[in-house]
Amino acid sequence: MHKNKENKVLDTKLDAVSKSLKQSIKNLDSHTHVRGESLYVDDVNIRQGTFHAVVFDSPKAHGKINSINYSKAEALEGVERIFTYKDVPGKNEIGGIIPDEPLFAEHEVHFWGMPIALIVAESEFIARKARDLIEIDIEELPVITRAKEAKAKGSFINAPRSFSLGDTEKAFQDCEYVFEGETFSNGQEHLYIEAQGAYAEPLENGNIKITSSTQGPTSVQKTIAQVLGIAMHKIEVDVTRLGGGFGGKEDQATPWAVMAALATYHLNQSVKLILNRHDDLRMTGKRHPYESTYKIGLSKDLKILAYQTEFLQNSGAAADLSPAIAERTLFHATNSYYVPNVTTKVLSCKTNLPPNTAFRGFGGPQGMFVIESAIAKAASEIGVSARQIQEANLLDENDTFSYGQIAKKVEAKNTWHSAKNIFNSDALEREVSDFNKNNTAFKKGVSFMPITFGISFTNTPMNHARALVHIYLDGSIGISTAAVEMGQGVNTKMMQIAADVFSVSIEHIKIETTNTTRVANTSPSAASSTADLNGKATLMACNSLLERLKIVAAEDLNVSENNIILKEEYVFVNDNKTELSWTDLISSAMLKRVALTENAHYATPEIHFDKTKEKGHPFAYHVYGTAITTTTIDCTRGTYEFDSVKIVHDYGKSMSEGIDLGQVEGALIQGMGWMTMEEIAYNDEGKLLSNALSTYKIPDIFSVPKSVEVIPVETKGHELAILKSKAVGEPPLMYGIGAYFALQNAIKAFNPNYDLKFHAPMTPEKVLMSLYS
Ligand code: LUZ
Ligand code: MOS
């Protein structure tokens, strides 16, 4: 076999996901990434004659279009054609959950950056020049930028949702303490490194192939078919990988692919549409800002007896995924705590911002921020530490969530107490308070942040996936699934599964591009569930093939198939290695006309949810963990550093420890960025002010904590997780919420009169104001 000296991992044999492999497995893509050889949409080899497109978008947030003059733009040399809603042969509609979003504005615009037309030209440069020549006259209408204002005006996306458990009203009467307050958490820009984009090419007979940077190839296919008014089988969507998605390409990769396809449909020529950073920032939606109110009631011994909230979600100008995101806010409103009496309500408020969308955590973080704020407020008023209230209310085995699911295999207390013990948090808290006694210009703060995150799409019908596995006649293997690789390492996990089942080196295995002609009708790669769903399907397909191959081997060796084991690329009979190698076995299967292809379908068992009752069992399982965050603030400047984040995380039994650690670290920093520095700003006219990397700050190497330690909790894992290795994409983002409360505690140490505010992000500017307020 060909040896690759540069990659030691390739020599590693998989044996039931052996310990060494779990630790040494690298992201399959790391090799091409560091060499600059990884392919993205922009790297597709374009056909001769390919056109380039640029989107003309609304320069106002709300108004009636009186007139648009395209004549100067159309007259520019090199401009091929400008497409508008009038060129849509099917439906000018791209809304996924609610049909409330046109592809191109018709007579009205609803947000600054709303697509109006597509300019197609010989080069992107010419298309951009043409865009500047378009004259538009808009009669401006009142602009709503805030959720509260939308609520006051009765501007909503859909009907409110509400979950309840127990009798909240009555429980408040039995409380020793009751506190109320308001919170705000801002949006967040995805800032995937690869901007949105697609490349469309015409095939025969009006068929179109799209290469798209999307998390949801099927949504792209379905929406193109709808807009063009043609059958889905005429559209092929292919995805090699994304340069990051973070939820921003779950729904919002679709319009660009549809526009490119529309132009290809009319011109019968390839069309490339890739947004530049400014266009992407302006035209796409972000994490939803939330304005919320809470009421929390506690007993004398700090048990949370009652909790009530109203979440105002700033949904933007169209539904997009907002209703599903609002639902997940309710699912996570009580985070890791058992609260016997809960009433939560969420309103999806329609404003004139770009439609806000999925973002790692999907409304969960927004919900958790509110209960953590409520606990911090209660602690401050009662005169105890927030940690005491948190600890007194952690979720236990068989506790009921507000949505009716009974908590099982709960690790909330386990991760909490493990974190306290492993990291000696008593000593840490003493050090912090000693530091604060001895220093005036600098203060430290420490916070605890437990997390509980439900795994599954909350929309039960979406929890399914398929895998198509081919073994070629030379023994090499090709695997197709619906999983989209976006840097999270899912391809590596798929490969590990096949290597594990067949006991062959990973060199034999190729993960194919994600393509709608090979795996159809897929859910997006989202909800942290991609490895679980597609991995289980891959496991099923590989196991079926293995069973078949065992029969072949048993015949060849004249033994019972029950005695056959595949190991180290050979057939073993009762632990004795035979002469029959993997490749010989495949040759033999070919001669015996045994099918070497398998297609498997997996649908998560056990889950269900009844929206009429708002009760059910929506999640396959939950992921738990606890983070302890320490910060030091400079009380002269308001600047701060994070000394450390110490985490005990519930990986289940991690199948790829390096990849999973990368997910925890990346999500943590992304969560901290949301809570501390990333400040989306729109002006009152609905224009995005934080529209460049000079005005929107995300964490860099100087702002990450000085130390991040992540220890796996001791646990047995969960059968519904792939190889008991739990979903890891989103849950750790919520450790970042701890950063906010560590800062609050440090401020309080300097300014005992500080009245806690829950208005994220906690930028240095706000820290400074709080120190002296
Ligand atoms: N996307 C989705 C998600 O469509 N449904 C979900 O429940 C979800 N959860 C997290 C992230 N994306
Ligand atoms: Mo999602 S926030 O695309 O998992």
Sign of the CA dihedral with 399 first, then 404, 406, and 410 last: negative
Write out residues with Cβ below 6 Å of ligand 2: 215, 247, 250, 358-360, 362, 526-527, 730
* pLDDT value at 13 more than 80: no
Closest alpha carbon to 311 in 282, 333, 296: 333
- What residues are paired with 632 via a beta bridge? 444, 641
For 402, list phi and psi in degrees, rounded to 5. -60, -20
Ligand 2 atom closest to residue 527's alpha carbon, by position in its atom list: 4
pLDDT of residue 9: 35
CB atoms within 10 A of CB 51: 27
Tell me how far CA of residue 287 lies from CA of 90, 359, 680, in angstroms. 30, 5, 10
Which 8-state DSSP code applies to residue 61? Answer: S
What totals of helices (H) and strands (E) does the chain contain, helices first?
20, 30
Q: State which of 288, 366, 458, 609 you would mutate to test the pocket of ligand 1, scoring each by most atoms of that ligand within 8 A of its C-beta.
A: 458
> How far is Cα 203 from Cα 208, in angstroms, rounded to an integer?
5
Q: What is the pLDDT of residues 45-63, one digit of tens each?
A: 999 999 999 999 999 999 9
Determine the average pLDDT of the residues in 69-92. Answer: 98
> How far is Cα 59 from Cα 114, in angstroms, rounded to an integer?
8
**CB–CB of 243/192 below 8 Å?**
yes
- pLDDT band of residue 554 (cuts 50, 70, 90) is very high
**CB–CB of 78/121 below 8 Å?**
yes
Which 8-state DSSP code applies to residue 361? Answer: T
pTM of structure: 0.96
Which 8-state DSSP code applies to residue 307? Answer: E
CB atoms within 10 A of CB 546: 15
Sign of the CA dihedral with 631 first, then 634, 638, and 641 last: negative
Q: State which of 252, 328, 663, 734 you would mutate to test the pocket of ligand 1, scoring each by most atoms of that ligand within 8 A of its C-beta.
A: 328
Q: What is the pLDDT of residues 133-161, one digit of tens each?
A: 999 999 999 999 999 999 999 999 999 99
> Residue 361 C-alpha to ligand 2 middle, in angstroms?
7
**CB–CB of 171/341 below 8 Å?**
yes
Which 8-state DSSP code applies to residue 538? Answer: H
* Distance in Å from the first CA to the final CA of the chain: 70
Strand-by-strand arrangement of the 509-511 sheet: 509-511, 477-481, 464-471, 597-603
Write out residues with Cβ below 6 Å of ligand 1: 247, 250, 321, 324, 328, 358, 362, 457-459, 526-527, 730
**Among residues 135, 250, 730, 765, which one is catalytic?**
730
**Top-confidence residue, 327 or 18:** 327
Nearest CA to ligand 1 atom 10: 527
Contacts of 36 (CB under 8 A, 6+ apart): none
**CB–CB of 764/642 below 8 Å?**
no
Contacts of 549 (CB under 8 A, 6+ apart): 566, 585, 586, 589, 594
For residue 639, give the 3-state DSSP assignment: coil
Mean pLDDT of the chain: 96
State both tokens at 662.
Answer: 């990368």
> Residue 457 C-alpha to ligand 1 middle, in angstroms?
5
Reduce the secondary structure of 176-216 to three states and give it as a string: CEEEEEEEEECCCCCCCCCCCEEEEEECHHHCEEEEECCCC
* pLDDT value at 72 more than 70: yes
Nearest CA to ligand 2 atom 3: 247
Q: What is the pLDDT of residues 500-547, one digit of tens each?
A: 999 999 999 999 999 999 999 999 999 999 999 999 999 999 999 999
Q: Which amino acid would we find at residue 724?
A: K
Q: What is the pLDDT of residues 209-218, one digit of tens each?
A: 999 999 999 9
> How far is Cα 365 from Cα 375, in angstroms, rounded to an integer?
15
Ligand 2 atom closest to residue 359's alpha carbon, by position in its atom list: 2
pLDDT of residue 26: 83
Max distance between CA atoms of the chain, in angstroms, equals 85
Burial of 120 (0-12, 13-18, 19+ CB in 10 A): buried
Half-sphere exposure of 739 (CA within 13 A, CB side): 32
Q: Please indicate whether residue 180 is annotated as part of the active site.
A: no
Identify the nearest ligand to the CA of 248 by its number: 2
pLDDT of residue 22: 63
> Residue 366 C-alpha to ligand 1 middle, in angstroms?
14
The DSSP string of 461-521 is: GG-EEEEEEEE-TTS-EEEEESPPPSSS-HHHHHHHHHHHHHT--GGGEEEPPEETTTS-S
* pLDDT value at 357 more than 70: yes
Which 8-state DSSP code applies to residue 289? Answer: P
> Residue 241 C-alpha to ligand 2 middle, in angstroms?
16
